[in-house]
Amino acid sequence: MAMHSSDDIEISCLAMAAISMSTNAIEAFLLEYSRFTKPSTYTNSFRKGNISRKYRKLMKSELKVDFPEVNELIRHRHDIVHHEPHSQRVLTLGNVTTSDDAIEAAETTERFFSDIISCPKLK
């Protein structure tokens, strides 16, 4: 939708929604994967942890190393939902979120799902 709009405000709002929904989908995926395939990891502390902690618990590895683009997506989402004028993203990029950001969020999420589903660490 963001790609087909000519209104800059609408584009930015739709792109921010896409970024937020992408990170929500990644978190939901990790929760459900844990619950159904590794029930011993599905604890209160696991459920309450952030995406990086959930990933570390399941994969015994660091998200920022394995999927730096997902880590960047999480940072972007954090800057959107916890908007602080002094945040690094606002200082370097301004407040504009574009349709390219929405596309990148969707593609990053799709690659993450694909890579995780085929990952031997989770089998």
Confidence bin at 2 (pLDDT 50/70/90): very low
Q: Tell me the mean pLDDT in the region 74-92.
A: 72
Q: Is the pLDDT of residue 43 over 90?
A: yes
Q: Which amino acid is at 14?
A: L
- Return the DSSP state at 87: S
**pTM to 2 decimals?**
0.83
Q: Which of 77, 33, 36 is nearest to 58 (CA)?
A: 33
CA 9 to each of CA 6, 56, 73, 90, 101: distance values in angstroms, whole numbers, following the listed order: 9, 37, 20, 16, 14
Tokens of 120: 């031997």
pLDDT tens for each residue of 45-81: 999 999 999 999 999 999 999 999 999 999 888 888 8
pLDDT per residue as tens digits for the range 7-25? 777 888 888 899 999 999 9
Q: What is the mean pLDDT of the chain?
A: 85
Residue found under tokens 């790609």:
3
Residue with tokens 């990170």: 23
Q: Which of 54, 63, 60, 62 is nearest to 35 (CA)?
A: 54
